[in-house]
Amino acid sequence: MSTNATIDQWELWHHGVRLADTTRTERIRVLQQFAAEAGIDPTYAQPLDIVRWYASHPEWTKSTHYTYHSYLVTWFKWLQLQDIRTDDPMIKVGKIKQPKRQPRPVADEHLLQLLRTNMHHRTRVMILLATLAGLRCIEIAAFRGENVDLPRGRMLIMGKGGGEKWVPIHPILATTAETMPARGWWFPSNRTRPGQHITRKSVSQSVGDAFRRAAIPGSAHPLRHWYATTLLEDGADIRVVQELMRHGSIHSTQGYAGVTDLRMRTAIEKLDLYRAIA
C-alpha cells in the first residue's frame, strides 16, 4: 500500500476487475513517480503539472511517453467514475499519437550463436519457450508443468488478462518438457518468495545475460518477434499466427508481416542498368 489513500483505492480496483499484476504494478509505479517528481497529490493534478512532468523527461522514448500518458488517462477517468473529480485534466493536455512499433526479431545467425553459448539449463528453456512458442517474459515466469499435455501434443499458455490458450507444442519443447517438473512452477522463486514463481524481470535478466555472454545484441522480447516473423516468412496464414501469438486484433499481427530485409535486398539486386539491351 502507498501513503496515498486514493492510490490505494485504485490498486484495490485493479484487483477487483482482475487486471494483470504487471499492469497494476506498472500503473501504480508510474503514478507514484509522477506524484514524487511533480511534488503534488496526483488526485488534484492540473494540466500544467502534467505537461511540465512530461517536459522534465526528454530522455523518454515516444513509446514510453505514450504509455505513461495512457496510464494518466486511465487514472483520471477512474477518478471521475468514482466521483472523486468532476473534471478531466487530460482533455486539455491533449492526445498523444501511438508510435508505430517495428518488430525487432533476433537475427537467425545470432540465434544460432545464442543457442551455442553455455548457460544454465533453465535459461535455455526460457529461450526455447520464447522462440518456439512466442511466450512473453511474464508467461515464461508463470509456466507450470501442468501446462504441458504431451499425449495431445499441446501446451497451455496463460496470457494477458488471465486469458488461456492451448497451442500445439513444438517437438523440441516437447522433449525439453521431459527434463522439467511435471507439476508446479518450471521456474520457482528463491527463498524471498517461497511457493511463488520468479518475476518477469528475472526472466528478462537471465535471457539478457545469455545474450551478453554470447556477445550479440538482443533481449527476451526479440525472440518472440523472431517467432512471429519466421512463421509469416515461412508461409503461415496470418490468422494462424494471430492465434499462436494470442493477439486480440489482427492489426497487431500485421505489424510482423512487413517486407523483410531479405526480400528488399533481393529486389534491389535484381535491378539491371543494362536492361535496355538485354
Rounded to whole angstroms, the Cα distance separating 229 from 159 reads 20
Residue 248 pLDDT grade (very low, low, confident, very high; cuts 50, 70, 90): confident
User: Residue 95 catalytic?
Assistant: no
Tell me which of 224, 225, 227, 246 is the catalytic residue. 224
Quick: pLDDT tens for 17-67: 888 777 888 999 999 999 999 999 999 999 999 999 999 999 998 989 999
User: Could you give the domains of the chain?
Assistant: 5-93 (1.10.150), 108-263 (1.10.443.10)
Q: What pLDDT is attached to residue 1?
A: 47
What's the pLDDT tens digit per position in 85-136?
A: 999 999 999 999 887 777 788 999 999 999 999 999 999 999 999 999 999 9
- The residue annotated as part of the active site, out of 65, 122, 160, 165, is 160
Catalytic residue among 14, 27, 136, 197: 136
Task: Please say if 221 is a catalytic residue.
Answer: yes
CB 201 within 8 A of CB 161: no
Residue 160 designated active-site: yes
The active-site residue out of 14, 69, 200, 247 is 247
Mean pLDDT of 141-159: 94
Determine the average pLDDT of the residues in 204-216: 96
Is 71 among the catalytic positions?
Answer: no
Q: Is 24 a catalytic residue?
A: no
CA 274 vs CA 23, 264, 268: distances in Å = 58, 20, 14
Q: How far apart are CA 76 and CA 150, in angstroms?
A: 47
The pLDDT value recorded for residue 191 is 74
Instruction: Count Cβ atoms within 10 A of the Cβ of residue 275 and give its class: 0-12 exposed, 13-18 middle, 19 or more buried.
Output: exposed
* pLDDT score for 103: 79
pLDDT of residue 48: 97
